[in-house]
Amino acid sequence: MASAAPSLTRTETDSLGSMEIPVDAYWGIHTARADANFPITKRPISVYPDLVRALAMVKQASARANKEIGALDAMRADLIDAAAQRVIDGEFHDQFTVGVIQGGAGTSTNMNANEVITNIALEAAGREKGDYAFLSPIDHTNRSQSTNDVYPTAVKIGLSLTLRALLEELDLLRKSFLSKAVDFHDILKVGRTQLQDAVPMTLGQEFHGFATTLGEDHSRLTENASLMFEINMGATAIGTGITTHVDYTQAVLKHLREITELELETATDLVESTSDTGAFMSFSSSLKRNAIKLSKICNDLRLLSSGPQAGLGEINLPAKQAGSSIMPGKVNPVIPEVVNQVAFAVVGADMTVTMAVEAGQLQLNAFEPVIAHSIFQSITWMRQAMWTLRVNCVDGITANTDRLGAMVGASVGVITALTPFIGYAAAAALAKTALLTNRNVADLVVEAGLMSREEVMKQLSPARLSGLEAVTAAVTVIPPEGLIEI
């Protein structure tokens, strides 16, 4: 008689009834219900690996704390600990299947982590997946915990881990602009205010300004990262710590600090910390600031490279792809454009975070999943946008030196450098004449008898025009009545 074919499913039961779960799945019934209930984004939480690692870190720290205080026997605690470590190391991430947007304030995410880590541990112990009488996702892996302290803590840890990569890429982008500032150090150009010609500067100064802006954002993001270090582990459901041992909060903090290597601190008021999500709003705002400033830099790159014949055409961006299906030879600034669009998405995500923070009610904010998703997405997209801007654009930018020189030579803005010697009124009159006659400013000043050719050229040197060499001596201003009309 032929033996029966092995079952392809296992039966799991919760308070709502029973379900058949694929026998090889590490997730269980709670995850299965969430997958059925929230088919919204088609994006599982595993798209954010640092969130998955952070969840495992919380479970590992809790297992160690429970073992230390006697709330969980050593055998089960060690099984959970080892299983969590495998997730931290990058295994089983495909088993974290619940959608990034979900109802329940993150309960489905917490249950997904409990089930996966438990079934990894069961398998390591030589048991069948789903043998929850031996090791339970809720009674053991979730011991001394609630979604309402696990989820926000994991999100904060995950964001802290993800931010490291963003800050590294931001610094590389800053250095790329700084390198271009060195390359363009002596290249004079016309500055512009309100899109009108202004006084001269160097292209190096312009790119150095971009680098400085990014450096300031690096500092602001680093400062705001500390907002993620206040956690509420031990709060359980609403902050009162119900079901936890008196020593759990201190023990789990100690182990979390060791595992994450972050300077985490337990909130002084766990009720407040469990309900308030203002830290996420502040953190998101700092990301928006960075996105907006990066977008402004990209706007400048697009303007400076516009043309190339009928625009400013001062710099050349690397040509990356054909720019038109109808105009042969057209090349567009596609890399700055994609960064602009990422910035727009970050601004929208920040508004989502703001509204979700405001919508919290009483002892819990039920909308933390969309908060987490919005911020993780912003960091992820920003990091990738910075990478493509650096590698596919900034590193390959060159200066159109001939065009820059021609524009400086024809600019009446250079006369500003002569105002300490000939006065504002005389300079304004000569600037008007230069515009009307299309003549060289230096020639007009010399012809007017206001300054010698040698002195004019000295003051109009690139170093002085760009402010790299300051005029330090007192000067005699020629009164406007001494001006000869030309």
Catalytic residue IDs: 324
Query: Do residues 122 and 83 make contact, with C-beta atoms less than 8 angstroms apart?
Result: no
Pairwise CA distance, residues 234 & 244, whole Å? 7
- Per the listing, tokens 């999500």 go with 277
Q: What are the tokens at 241?
A: 């710590």
126-159 as b/e: b if 16+ CB within 10 A: ebebbebeebebbebbbbbbbbbbbbbbbbbbbb
Q: What are the tokens at 41?
A: 């984004």
Pairwise CA distance, residues 204 & 182, whole Å? 6
Local structure of residue 4 (DSSP, 8 states): P
Nearest to 111 by CA among 47, 36, 29, 50: 29
Nearest to 36 by CA among 115, 118, 97, 127: 97
What spatial distance separates the first Cα and last Cα of the chain, rounded to whole Å? 116
Alpha carbons within 13 A on the beta-carbon side of 82: 13
Query: Which distant-in-sequence residues (6+ apart) come within 8 Å of 293 by Cβ?
Result: 213, 214, 217
Pairwise CA distance, residues 202 & 180, whole Å? 12
144 three-class SS: coil
The identity of residue 376, as a single letter, is F
Pairwise CA distance, residues 30 & 53, whole Å? 20
Nearest-10 crossing angle of helices 278-304, 334-358: 160
Pairwise CA distance, residues 269 & 170, whole Å? 35
Segment holding 122, helix H or strand E: helix 107-124
Local structure of residue 99 (DSSP, 8 states): B
Query: Do residues 400 and 314 make contact, with C-beta atoms less than 8 angstroms apart?
Result: yes
Query: Do residues 248 and 228 make contact, with C-beta atoms less than 8 angstroms apart?
Result: no
Distances (CA, A) of 213 to 220, 289, 318: 11, 11, 23
